Amino acid sequence: MSLRCVAVTGLGVLSPIGNNPKLFFQNLMAGQSGVKKINAPFADDLDCKIAAYIDDFEPLDHFVKNKAATMDRVTQFAVVASQQAINDAGLDLEKEDLERIGIYLGTGMGGAASIEEGYIRLYRENAKRLKPFTVLMAMNNAAGSQVALDFGFTGPDLTFCTACSSSSIAIGEAMRQIRHGYADVMLAGGSEALLTFGTIKAWEALRTLADEDQTDPSKSCKPFSSDRSGLVLGEGAGIVVLEDMEKAIARGAHIYAEIIGFGSSNDSSHVTQPSIEGQTRAMRKALNEAGIQPSQLDYINAHGTGTKLNDSTEAASISKVCGTGIPISSTKSLHGHIMGATAAIEFIACMMAIKEQSLPPTANFTSPDEGCELDFIPNIGRKNVRVHTIMSNSFAFGGTSGVLIAKKIS
């Protein structure tokens, strides 16, 4: 059987800088940051008091009260972003073969809020019993399973948990499901809602969080800049609709791009320290599958977390594989690091870059660090530029890398 081409036909996003793809990308291009002071009741007990959180999401705008009460925030995000993506793709599910539609979702922490609420009830409040739905709200596959249930998908359903690269792996593997004929349509992406007291304290202990910028908290995440100090945690969801290209064309769907390459690898060297060799393996695999040379790339969306070691390692990896002439940006400078959903949200930024022929900036960039002297699109986005072929990098704790390559359909 010949391999099928895979189109991206729908986008859905909830993020700290916009709850639909158009607004999300407008704010990226404008350099509008979603990083702000944490306003939760536990903020005074944190050392790190900044995060990129969504403050305009009301569950009851999307779900009846009883249903909302049985879903963790991470699942609510996933369902809403999936509905957006389906609507954007123009899919009429009543006319689709639901056995040929699946959902591949990435998440790092799953139902973090439900887990923490259970611990609080048990160990602080000495409760004798927990909510009956605690397990079903907390399990990592809750979000993907709820999407399949709500929309009636009976095709492949898998949840990927590879830390920061979870949704890149989900999109790449979903692409393969279609390419090899196991499905005709796949929803793929990630969801994350981990801004809880316990999770933030755990990240504080790891000593990777950014120092708060004393002049403007929104400027605290500074990827690739010489004064970077760490990452900023975020929350949100990104879902894309992937579709067999012939099917998409036949139904007259708008096609954002074709996914042409996916590469994954493991560093197998250290659980937290990134490896140049591991990252270059993933990029080269993606380029090889895409059948293109690095010089054919118009844009790279970098993993670019804002930590000293991550950014210098990635800059070296990109230089080794792609040279120094390709425009690069880290959009985490604006929407934060959304862990298991980050790769999908950044891939959506790439799809919008192709659509709008514009490149988002790396915000808060002051001066290049030694070893990071590449074109990081500092501070100001670029409009009316050629964006035909993109690469999106995702490199994770644990060493799992995911790299996606897509191109504009002429």
**Beta strand extents in 124-281 (DSSP E only):** 157-160, 185-192, 236-244, 257-266
Decide if 365 contacts 219 (C-beta within 8 A). Answer: no
Residue with tokens 């969080």: 209
Q: Any catalytic annotation for residue 337?
A: yes
- Say which residues have a Cβ less than 8 Å from residue 199's Cβ, sequence separation at least 6: 109, 112, 116, 233
Spatial CA neighbour of 297 closest among 334, 244, 260: 260
Which residues pair with residue 13 across a beta bridge? 238
List % helix, strand, coil for the chain (3-state, nearest 5). Answer: 40, 20, 40
354: left (phi over 0), alpha (psi -120 to 50) or beta: alpha
- Could you tell me the sign of the dihedral formed by the alpha carbons of 81, 82, 87, 90, in that order? positive
Catalytic residue among 5, 161, 164, 322: 164
Q: Which of 303, 322, 335, 372 is catalytic?
A: 303
Instruction: Check 48, 161, 221, 337 and give the catalytic one.
Output: 337
Structure letter (DSSP) for residue 215? S
Which residues touch 157 (CB under 8 Å, ≥6 apart)? 102, 103, 104, 141, 144, 145, 148
Place of tokens 């920061």: 164
What three-state secondary structure class fits 307?
Answer: coil
The verdict on whether 303 is a catalytic residue reads: yes
Catalytic residues: 164, 303, 337
